[in-house]
Structure 1
Amino acid sequence: MIPKYKKILYATDLSANAAHAFSHVIGLARSYRAEVYILHVLPEVEPAMLNYISTVMGEDRLADLELEHKEEIKDKIRQRIHAFAKEQLSDHPEDVERISEIEIHHGSPVGRILEAADRIDADLIVIGSHGKGRLKYAFLGSVAEKLLRKSYRAVMVVPLK
């Protein structure tokens, strides 16, 4: 059976090369008349760093600051992604309508991508991958590699320049 992509989840790290992967997403969305869901995951701060900051600032003050600014940061990133999409689609503004939702979450990128894909019942996950060489991936891994290993959904990895 030939797959039909009706819901495409595009996970972006907001890097300078993100436009390259986004162009693939929009091309697929046009071809299949699909909805596009954009996801950006903010990584958690390392526990050692959090411990240091809470020691310097005080645990209560750090918790208050986190709560105060978490939604503000998410809104700014959401606006940045929307502006990016509008700019990339300036020659075809009707394609902006294909973007159903822009989500910003904190946590493990792979876990959050898989959760979002399940929640929206995505037919395809698209992610860009930075070419950092084989040796680095042998030791560090990458979000794209982990996603390919853990996802039971179709995953398209776009090599970024």
Structure 2
Amino acid sequence: MLHAAHILCLGSSTSAAGTQAAQLARRTGATLHVMPLPSGRAAGPTGSDPGPGAEAAVPAHVVETQPRSVTAVLQYVGDADIDLVVADTPLDRGPVPPLATDLTRALTRRLDRPVFIVERQDDPDAIQRLLVPTDLSVPALRAFRHAVALARLYDAAIDVLHVIESVPYVALTPTDRLSLGATTLSERRGRRRLRAFLQEGEAAGVQVQPHIMRGAAADQISRFANQGDVDLMVLSAHGSDAEEGPLGPVGTRVLGRVTRPLFLVRASGPSLLGPPDDAA
């Protein structure tokens, strides 16, 4: 199950982020914190203030404050013990991916907790298919567990994508080519490790479909996300290089190309999965 005591919405109560954050707060019993952004960067569909019926879409405990900078947002997240930050995709971004904006890029580089970047959609329950790209690492397993919790929350299905990046093999003889077989050793290993991921989804009663592709990871993930019927991408942020940032080289390239809503899970720091995940 997804656990959250405090959810911060960066946007108005009537924005897509406000609607999604309110839905999550109701389902998890969390307190909703609303932080309207300056310059209308996360305004509602019409750019207006919340109407008379806006209160009905927001849980009872709402704390409203006005940020002055990314530093102020980070300070508030720490002071209020925020578990999850929900942000809007800017209305004027056009085809620009979510993390190409200054605010979301700065927040994801510096926040140590999950970030949910939503699209402009009226129905928060429209999330029916999740994509989880995975390198089969421990941080990626943590992201998959969050995806399972989200899938249960939205009654959605999950596509798990593992990309095998390999150097083309040039066989010297027909016998060499036959020895490779229809399935390579790396693919067999990938499928075996994927089964461990899928068992968790099956135990939770979530429909999980595995996919193994070959090629450049960023290219294949971006293509799958943009061409497929994906409503939300759940991605692990576990880069360690200072220049690459927390997303790592593949994640950084993917988020420069993908325009889907995003749920970003940190490799360490606060978890939304409660004691079971901490024990694991």
Which residue number corresponds to residue 120 of structure 1? 228
Q: CA deviation at 1:60?
A: 4.8
Which residue number corresponds to residue 32 of structure 1? 154
Residue 80 of structure 1 aligns to a residue in which SS?
Answer: helix
Q: How does 1:26-65 map to 2 (within 5 A)?
A: 26-45=148-167, 54=170, 58=172, 60=174, 63-65=177-179
Is 1:151 aligned to 2:255, yes or no?
A: no
1:125–1:155 Cα contact (<8 Å) kept:
yes
Q: Say what the alpha-carbon RMSD is for the aligned residues.
A: 2.7
Percent of aligned pairs with the same residue?
Answer: 27
Instruction: Note closer, same or farther for the CA distance 1:134–1:2 as it changes in structure 2 (3 Å cut).
Output: farther
Distance 2:267 2:128 in 1: 24
Which residue number corresponds to residue 190 of structure 2? 77
TM-score relative to the length of structure 1: 0.74
Matched letter for residue 261 of structure 2: A
1:44–1:106 Cα contact (<8 Å) kept:
yes
Runs of 4+ in 1 over 6 A off after TM superposition: none
Which residue number corresponds to residue 5 of structure 1? 127
Residue 78 of structure 1 aligns to a residue in which SS?
Answer: helix
2:136–2:193 Cα contact (<8 Å) kept:
no
Distance 2:235 2:258 in 1: 13
Residue 30 of structure 1 aligns to a residue in which SS?
Answer: helix
1:144–1:157 Cα contact (<8 Å) kept:
no
Q: CA deviation at 1:78?
A: 2.3
Distance 2:219 2:178 in 1: 26
Which residue number corresponds to residue 105 of structure 1? 213
TM-score relative to the length of structure 2: 0.45
Q: CA deviation at 1:9?
A: 0.6
Greater RCO, 1 or 2 (C-alpha within 8 Å, sep 6+): 1
Distance 1:155 1:147 in 2: 11
Instruction: Note closer, same or farther for the CA distance 1:73–1:142 as it changes in structure 2 (3 Å cut).
Output: closer
Structure 1 range deviating more: 28-37 or 118-127:
118-127
Which residue number corresponds to residue 93 of structure 1? 203
Computing the radius of gyration over CA atoms, which structure comes out larger, 1 or 2? Answer: 2
List runs of 5+ in structure 1 lacking aligned partners: none
C-alpha deviations, 1:70-89, integer Å up to 9, x for none? 35643442242123331x45
Which residue number corresponds to residue 94 of structure 2? none
Distance 2:227 2:189 in 1: 23
Name the structure where helix makes up a greater proportion of residues. Answer: 1
List runs of 5+ in structure 2 lacking aligned partners: 1-121, 269-280
Instruction: Note closer, same or farther for the CA distance 1:62–1:151 as it changes in structure 2 (3 Å cut).
Output: farther
2:132–2:158 Cα contact (<8 Å) kept:
yes
